[in-house]
A and B are shown apart, each in its own frame.
Chain A
Amino acid sequence: MLHEVGLNSASELFDSIPQELRLTRNLDTTPALSELELLAGFDRLAATNYGAQRISFLGAGAYQHYIPTVVDHIISRSEFFTAYTPYQPEISQGTLQAIFEFQTLVCQLTGMEVANASMYDGSTALAEAVLMAERVTKRSKVVACGAIHPEYLEVIDTYVQHAGIELVHAPFDAETGQVGDATDLLDDKTAALVVQSPNFFGCIEDVAALAQRAHANGSLLIVAITEAISLGLLKSPGACGADIVVAEGQSFGVPLSFGGPYVGLFATREKYARQIPGRLVGEAFDKQGRRGFVLTLATREQHIRREKATSNICTNEGLIALASTVYLETMGRQGLQEVAQQCAQKAAYAAKSISALPGFSVPFTAPRFNEFVVRAPGNAKELLAKLASKNQITGGLPLSRYFADRPNDFLVCVTEINSREQIDSFVSALESQVAL
């Protein structure tokens, strides 16, 4: 082939690169490994991830849930995972119809009217929601509740730092764990009030009341959800009056995978459809009147609008959105409610058992879904380290990771994965480690 294109050696392929820029040595990366060597190497590394081997009560933005076997089978099909973004609809209807179903499911669960084809994850979806609120209202201040996932708040900070948006944090109530009365922070410059519900501490916010407060001020209400399973039980943000709803969709059939890839859900009101970031799939018909689906409203997007686009996003989380779609359809109307019920019931059982232990309490009084803060009689990080090494239990997240003033508090998450037996051994491990 080289000769046919008129060359004598492979290096002549690169003659347009100045000689002094050409690498004259091999890269300092490993020589080629065989399949057996490669797997042995990764298996060895995986074996040192002790956290993956323990019973776990760790949530805080990433959750262990039952994943039906069919999910991985479907997303492992060549036709889905080795396809590109569906730019040629005639040979991409599989992907396009799946996204249309995804958008519909997200609308149904969040109680909203329009949803996009996905964002990178919950945190970036929330940052994009903040930017969208500024575009919609043409106001420049955003009030964000202090009980939003701390890493989400950090991501918002990064995204808005050059956008001319002032970000104000509304403190949470130290007794209830919910956002305090943010009314005094809302003014005529406020584009949006941002809350997470259930919030980072697991507390359910009074979203309907917050929506009223935001709307009375001419601001939007943005609701973020990290534990999307809660949508199977809790009133939808849309029904409560939210204007933009974003969620981390990882709970819908996506493995923990050390933080990604996950999938951001993004939904809003129909009147804001042309302000939404990211891709949208819509219904379309061919000349014979056959129904199909296409990427639509592309004039919002970067490849057409360039610097005036609603977002710079291009590649999103297609395959993970597909995993969520398969999950939601497999679990279905009944399964989604049952999972959510089990999470809430088991968390309530765990909270009751732990708070009955001498020296332990559950400090926040607000109603909760499947996460709650526990106050230990001593340093939580040390206690959880002992639990991990002695009892092989990951007991949750020491809040000191994000809140230095809460050394004794830790966040516990319980899902349908945790059997009563696991919960009971967790509780007795806590008791015995403190007694030691």
Chain B
Amino acid sequence: MKSDITKVSAHINPNEALIFERSQTGRVGYRLPPLDVEEQTISDLIPHQFLRDDDLDGVPEVSEVDVIRHFVRMSMWNYSIDQGMYPLGSCTMKYNSRLNEKVARIAGFASLHPLTEAEDAQGALAVIHQLQLDLAEITGLPGISLQPAAGAHGEMTGVMIIRAFIDARDGEGGSAKRRTMLIPDSAHGTNPASAHLSGFSVKTIRSTAEGLTDLDHLREVCAVGDVAGLMLTNPNTLGLFERNIQEICRIVHEAGGLVYMDGANMNALVGIARPGDMGVDVIHLNLHKTFSTPHGGGGPGCGPCCCTKELEPFLPVPRIVKEADNYKLDFNYPKSIGRVKAFFGNYGMMLRALAYIQTHGNDGLREATEAAVLNARYIARGLTSDYDKPFDSPPMHEVVFTDKRQSRKGVHTLDIAKRLIDYGFHPMTIYFPLIVQGAMLIEPTESVGRQELDQFVEAMRAIAREAVEDPELVLNAPHDTRIGRLDEAAAARKPVLRWKPRQAATTA
């Protein structure tokens, strides 16, 4: 059944129970030096009613080798970038350099306390400052804060900056009339959620049949006079560059609003074009996408917020500034939206991102962008014969297809994605963007070569054939994984969100 499959990963199937089910009373996996001060009766130090009395019941008791085997076995159930192409659209799953990991583990950074006096942390602050300069250059937006911990956090920061700017510009009465944030129907769900946190209500902007922002609709909505801003992803989530971006910015600006750009797709632009030159006022970046810091199975991220000179006074504090040859924390920004996170943000990610920028060099950054776009173009060309491509324009770094043809045989996007697992690939992003029915959003990144692209195209074509010849095979995929498709509906109806000892579970 898989004669023409060239890339097949054997999914390893060791059984591994939950650690709580492995626990053995009295086992330990650690050793501390003995206490070297006179031990006092603990209840003499802390009154009895404040002390724990459950002896940490249920917390596992295992040896070190138990722990290692437990996690190594579990790790084998994961797909990862290091195994192969991970074409999740809008997620930019590119290679995570080991060198960057090494940099983040240098003791002088890893052991540095965030409340160290600035004069004793000059190297750490210099890294922040250099990354600020580089990201400002890459985006063309000079104001910058690295404090936000992830993309959505950077969005929240950016939208709060817009709110603060409008509050300051229009005064309380004027600002109260501007509570509308415009968001295209193709946007990430985090956009409206972030806008809501700043007290904005959301109005949706339609996309044209061509897959771009509908300028007429934008003009119409802007004419109402209540617009605070527009949140736009560019290239958008269909993988298309909004070629009217200057006109879009002009319309929003003339209506008294600001333009926020979701930088999730910056991997299509680095070294090629800069949001600041397009008229964008504020943007967030995802260092865990464009700048290759590892996704870690769901974080940590880092979501720097970059803005124009005009918006700079509103950035979170403290700002990291350079005075003469000295780096310092500057809290003196009375218009600041405030602090969005304790300390300075996800510093370890900043080290990795700076290492990425420096090892690529300026020409390498541009070349990476070129390769990312070329790879997506190559896939677009390779799959057009077998899959419906809803938008004609050539894509940037990611391309969207649909299940239109396959669904006639009852095979849907989810099935195609699951079948792709049998071919040794991680599936693409599915059912996003929401405006494309049965969307499959494919982003190969620059980290795959032609051979693997060919294998991917070949696998997708084979699935298209299977959808016609043997739909059951696709509908029941994946076949080789540790578990089959899980009943997610049942899981949500009666959620079991933690392990409990058996007898407790039956009474609960």
| Cα distance A85–B190 in the bound complex, in angstroms | 15
A-side contacts of B18, CB under 8 Å: 97, 100-101, 104
| Cα distance A33–B354 in the bound complex, in angstroms | 11
User: Quick check: B20 and A341 within 8 Å, CB to CB?
Assistant: no
| Cα distance A77–B80 in the bound complex, in angstroms | 10
Partner of A315, one of B114, B126, B151, B274: B151
Partner of B377, one of A13, A45, A299, A346: A13
Partner of B294, one of A45, A82, A89: A82
| Cα distance A101–B112 in the bound complex, in angstroms | 29
User: Quick check: A273 and B497 within 8 Å, CB to CB?
Assistant: yes
User: Quick check: A95 and B297 within 8 Å, CB to CB?
Assistant: yes
User: Quick check: A234 and B492 within 8 Å, CB to CB?
Assistant: no
- Give A232 Cβ to nearest chain B Cβ, in Å: 7
User: Quick check: A51 and B342 within 8 Å, CB to CB?
Assistant: no
A-side contacts of B67, CB under 8 Å: 70, 74, 326, 329-330
- Give A374 Cβ to nearest chain B Cβ, in Å: 16
User: Quick check: A163 and B199 within 8 Å, CB to CB?
Assistant: yes
- Give B72 Cβ to nearest chain A Cβ, in Å: 7
B358's nearest neighbour on chain A, judged by CB, is A33
| Cα distance A18–B247 in the bound complex, in angstroms | 12
- Give B394 Cβ to nearest chain A Cβ, in Å: 7
- B324 at the binding interface (Cβ < 8 Å): no
User: Quick check: A109 and B192 within 8 Å, CB to CB?
Assistant: no
A-side contacts of B105, CB under 8 Å: 72
Question: Known: A79-B75, A367-B47. Is A330-B64 also a contact (CB below 8 A)?
Answer: yes
- A288 at the binding interface (Cβ < 8 Å): yes
- A41 at the binding interface (Cβ < 8 Å): yes
Q: Which of B16, B107, B189, B366 has the most CB of A within 10 A?
A: B189
| Cα distance A43–B134 in the bound complex, in angstroms | 20
- B104 at the binding interface (Cβ < 8 Å): yes
B-side contacts of A56, CB under 8 Å: 113
B126's nearest neighbour on chain A, judged by CB, is A45
Partner of B288, one of A100, A155, A315: A315
User: Quick check: B196 and A38 within 8 Å, CB to CB?
Assistant: no
User: Quick check: B115 and A62 within 8 Å, CB to CB?
Assistant: yes
User: Quick check: B478 and A90 within 8 Å, CB to CB?
Assistant: yes
B-side contacts of A135, CB under 8 Å: none
- Give B143 Cβ to nearest chain A Cβ, in Å: 17
Question: Known: A51-B112, A346-B37. Is A91-B78 also a contact (CB below 8 A)?
Answer: yes
User: Quick check: A312 and B108 within 8 Å, CB to CB?
Assistant: no
User: Quick check: B297 and A84 within 8 Å, CB to CB?
Assistant: yes
| Cα distance A250–B274 in the bound complex, in angstroms | 37
Partner of B365, one of A29, A294, A369, A385: A29
Question: Known: A93-B483, A95-B298. Is A29-B362 also a contact (CB below 8 A)?
Answer: yes
- B333 at the binding interface (Cβ < 8 Å): no
| Cα distance A233–B47 in the bound complex, in angstroms | 12
- A172 at the binding interface (Cβ < 8 Å): no
The residues in B between 407 and 426 inclusive whose CB is less than 8 angstroms from any CB of A are: 417-418, 421, 426
| Cα distance A388–B495 in the bound complex, in angstroms | 53
Q: Which of A98, A315, A316, A388 has the most CB of B within 10 A?
A: A315
User: Quick check: A155 and B347 within 8 Å, CB to CB?
Assistant: no
- B271 at the binding interface (Cβ < 8 Å): yes
User: Quick check: B344 and A294 within 8 Å, CB to CB?
Assistant: no
The residues in A between 405 and 428 inclusive whose CB is less than 8 angstroms from any CB of B are: 416, 419-421, 423
B-side contacts of A15, CB under 8 Å: 394
Partner of B338, one of A157, A316, A346: A157
The residues in A between 1 and 21 inclusive whose CB is less than 8 angstroms from any CB of B are: 1-2, 4-7, 10, 13-18, 21
User: Quick check: A330 and B30 within 8 Å, CB to CB?
Assistant: yes
The residues in B between 68 and 89 inclusive whose CB is less than 8 angstroms from any CB of A are: 68, 70-72, 74-83, 86, 88
The residues in A between 274 and 320 inclusive whose CB is less than 8 angstroms from any CB of B are: 279-288, 290-292, 294, 296-299, 301-309, 311-320
Question: Known: A16-B396, A163-B197, A257-B104. Is A92-B243 also a contact (CB below 8 A)?
Answer: no
The residues in A between 335 and 350 inclusive whose CB is less than 8 angstroms from any CB of B are: 335-339, 341-342, 344-346, 348-349
- A22 at the binding interface (Cβ < 8 Å): yes
A-side contacts of B272, CB under 8 Å: 14, 17, 22-23
User: Quick check: A32 and B361 within 8 Å, CB to CB?
Assistant: yes
B-side contacts of A313, CB under 8 Å: 150, 152-153
User: Quick check: A258 and B99 within 8 Å, CB to CB?
Assistant: no
Question: Known: A51-B112, A52-B108, A234-B46. Is A78-B80 also a contact (CB below 8 A)?
Answer: yes
| Cα distance A32–B361 in the bound complex, in angstroms | 3
Interface pick from A119-127, A137-145, A215-223, A354-362: A119-127
User: Quick check: B341 and A388 within 8 Å, CB to CB?
Assistant: no
Partner of B370, one of A10, A34, A47, A329: A10
- B442 at the binding interface (Cβ < 8 Å): no
- A324 at the binding interface (Cβ < 8 Å): no
1/0 per position for B92-131, CB-CB distance to A under 8 A?
0100100101111111111111111100111110110000
| Cα distance A291–B344 in the bound complex, in angstroms | 41
User: Quick check: B297 and A80 within 8 Å, CB to CB?
Assistant: yes
B-side contacts of A330, CB under 8 Å: 29-30, 62, 64, 67
B-side contacts of A105, CB under 8 Å: 59
User: Quick check: A322 and B296 within 8 Å, CB to CB?
Assistant: yes
1/0 per position for A23-46, CB-CB distance to B under 8 A?
100111111111100110111111
Partner of B62, one of A47, A50, A75, A332: A332
User: Quick check: B495 and A290 within 8 Å, CB to CB?
Assistant: no
User: Quick check: A318 and B274 within 8 Å, CB to CB?
Assistant: no
B-side contacts of A342, CB under 8 Å: 32, 35
- B311 at the binding interface (Cβ < 8 Å): no
Q: Which of B42, B82, B103, B197 has the most CB of A within 10 A?
A: B197
| Cα distance A28–B299 in the bound complex, in angstroms | 30
User: Quick check: A284 and B491 within 8 Å, CB to CB?
Assistant: yes
B272's nearest neighbour on chain A, judged by CB, is A14
- A107 at the binding interface (Cβ < 8 Å): yes
| Cα distance A233–B45 in the bound complex, in angstroms | 12
Interface pick from B49-57, B218-226, B461-469: B49-57
Question: Known: A90-B481, A120-B150. Is A329-B78 also a contact (CB below 8 A)?
Answer: no
Q: Which of B126, B196, B491 has the most CB of A within 10 A?
A: B491
A31's nearest neighbour on chain B, judged by CB, is B361
B-side contacts of A183, CB under 8 Å: none
B-side contacts of A345, CB under 8 Å: 35, 37, 39-40, 42, 45
Question: Known: A70-B68, A88-B417. Is A284-B57 also a contact (CB below 8 A)?
Answer: no
| Cα distance A416–B37 in the bound complex, in angstroms | 11
| Cα distance A49–B152 in the bound complex, in angstroms | 31
Partner of A159, one of B197, B288, B426: B197
- A266 at the binding interface (Cβ < 8 Å): no
Q: Which of B55, B72, B358 has the most CB of A within 10 A?
A: B358
Interface pairs A-B: 3 shortest CB-CB = A46-B108, A32-B361, A319-B296
A-B contact pairs, 12 of them (CB 8 A): A50-B121, A61-B343, A68-B30, A79-B76, A79-B79, A91-B481, A108-B58, A109-B56, A151-B343, A292-B483, A316-B298, A345-B40
